[in-house]
Structure 1
């Protein structure tokens, strides 16, 4: 089969690799129909490199079941599925206590095992979730980024009437805006330095837009009251990762969803907010809970498939899988204008 294999920093190749084969009785082979490029893929392509040289990459996908292992009963050939990319042991103390996101052996497809930038992928049956009737493969490929935002919100105390600030209106930020509304948020502030992205955030449900290019968003939020109940850091930027601490009211919450690929220096003014305002600081990692893969996946499929939440609005580019190496080069050379990019193993153009 054809796949995108990652060899080194900015060395991504479209080449022939062996087809996956059923080896365990719970294995399932899926024909990939659509697969998304994640922000973490961009960071790793630009400067971090692969976990395993030459591994098939990619982790946001949907597809059709074409073969199942002998012990698989909940799926049949022809089922349309989305894939949870997080691989856990199901045996460690964290998994058994209902916290698989803290698994001692947590892994992700495309890292140490073959991923979804390919014509076919093999996964354990438990990692696959059936799509609802009428749901498109494009919607299915966007379930994973949606679950990142849901998982983060589940770590908080969000409830009806909350005021929420979302710092960073990329794909995860856009999802966080929509899900915050679904969780009952009364008002959502969208904060970004990209005016065009803020307009997208408004379409996704943001009530107040703050362009922080030339202003301190801490001061700007204070024009609307004493701070928000919940601040979400979804930019993954060291600068915003520090300054998001200035957004909540006393006793409020901060949840980190973005991944800053650098050290995070925190000025004293913002660090003291943790203590003086008695903030609750929450980290959120991956997309899963118990029973595995979790309510994040069930709810995302339900809400997206029934058009209660929009995901297609963040798609800006659709290209064939064969164009993947060229697309990655284009994104890092000039990232402006690229939202969610979807790749298709079957020719679309």
Structure 2
């Protein structure tokens, strides 16, 4: 079968791999139809992370069930499915308490076990989520990143009528804008330095666009909010600079949730750090997308919101390419000569 295997930093190879086979009584084999490139894939491609050299990559994907273990009786061949790629130990104190996202052995398919950048992938039955006919395979490839976003928002007290600032309008930020609206936010501020991404943010529901190139983000948000700030600030850019600047955006008693992951040290100027204390902010870190009962309400909420068309993900797709273009497309992404939001592999 065709596959994309990661061997080292910037060493991604399109090659033939052996098809997976059923080995345990809870396994399901899926014929992958669509797979997406995650922002974390880009960082791992450049700098590496948890990795088995030569492993099949990819953790955002959807497809059709083609083989099931004998003990799997609640799933049919031909079923259309999305996949939760998270794998956990199930034995540690965190897992047993239901706090699965905190499992010290948590990882996703594509890291140390074969992932979804391939014709076929094998996963445990509990990781497989049936999707209705109203959701395309292309949309279903967004189920996992959407669940990542809503996992973070569930930690907050976001409620109807609130104001939300989303820092960074990549895939995660654009999903956060939509989820803020689904939660009932009255006003959503989209923040990014790229006008093309801000235009896309407006298309998916942002009310006010803020470009830091036009002046201090803090001052712009204060002007729009008459000096108060927002109820919730969402860090979705994952840069060292924005990870500090985000603290200046909420109102007194407001909240910050971190969805982005900076891959360098974060230095916080006194101005921004003091906001945490003087504004009495609540700050949430958010990791992965799972909860109990596994895979969690994040995935169920996503399927529901996609099905009723509240969550629109197709506008987020900037490129659709065959799997064989994988090595080329990753190089183009890190080259930054063109705008990328979500890249979808078609298989």
TM-score norm. by structure 1 comes to: 0.97
The residue number in structure 2 matching 1:170 is 170
What's the secondary structure of 1:239's corresponding residue? helix
Q: Distance in 2 between matches of 1:335 and 1:100?
A: 39
- Equivalent-residue separation in structure 2 for 1:325 and 1:14 (angstroms): 7
Contact 1:210/1:217 (<8 A) preserved: yes
Aligned to 2:342: 340
Shift, 1:301, TM fit: 1.1
SS in 2 for 1:144: helix
Question: Is the contact made by 1:8 and 1:50 (CA closer than 8 Å) also made in structure 2?
Answer: no
Looking at structure 2, the residues matched to 55 and 239 of structure 1 have their Cα atoms a distance apart, in angstroms, of: 33
State how 1:13-52 maps to structure 2 within 5 Å: 13-48=13-48, 51-52=51-52
**CA displacement 1:53-110 (0-9 Å, x = unmatched):** 1110011000000111122122111100001011112222212222111112101111
Q: Report if the CA contact (8 A) 2:95-2:103 is conserved.
A: yes
Please give the residue correspondences for 1:73-88 in structure 2 after superposition, counting only pairs within 5 Å: 73-88=73-88
Shift of 1:47: 2.7
Whole-angstrom CA distance in 1 between matches of 2:98 and 2:218 = 36
Alignment match, 1:230: 232
Partner-residue secondary structure (3-state), 1:262: coil
| Conservation of the 8 A alpha-carbon contact between 1:314 and 1:340 | yes
Tell me, yes or no, if the aligned pair for 2:50 and 2:112 is still in contact at 8 Å.
Answer: no
| SS at structure 1 position matched to 2:306 | helix
Residue by residue over 1:159-180, the C-alpha shift from the partner in whole angstroms, topping out at 9 and shown as x without a partner, is 1111100000000000000000
Identify the residue that residue 203 of structure 1 maps to in structure 2. 203
Q: Deviations over 1:210-237 (max 9, x none)?
A: 0112411111111123010100000000
CA shift for structure 1 position 272: 0.9
- Which structure 1 residue ranges, 5 or more long, are not aligned? none
Partner residue of 1:129? 129
Give, in whole Å, the separation in 2 of the partners of 1:18 and 1:117: 13
Quickly say closer, same or farther: Cα 1:16–1:50, change in 2 above 3 A.
farther
The structural deviation recorded for 1:49 is 5.8
Equivalent in the alignment of 2:248 = 246
The residue aligned with 1:256 is: 258
How many residues are matched? 345
Q: Where does residue 328 of structure 1 map in the other structure?
A: 330
- Paired residues for 1:94-109 under 5 Å: 94-109=94-109
Structure 1 outlier segments of 4+, above 6 Å: none
User: Residue in 2 aligned with 1:179?
Assistant: 179
**Structure 2 residues without counterparts, runs of 5 or longer:** none
Alignment of 1:110-149 (within 5 A): 110-149=110-149
Stretch moving more, 330-339 or 38-47: 330-339
Q: CA deviation at 1:51?
A: 1.3
CA distance in 2, matches of 1:141, 1:229: 31
Deviation, structure 1 residue 133: 2.3
**SS of 1:258's equivalent?**
coil
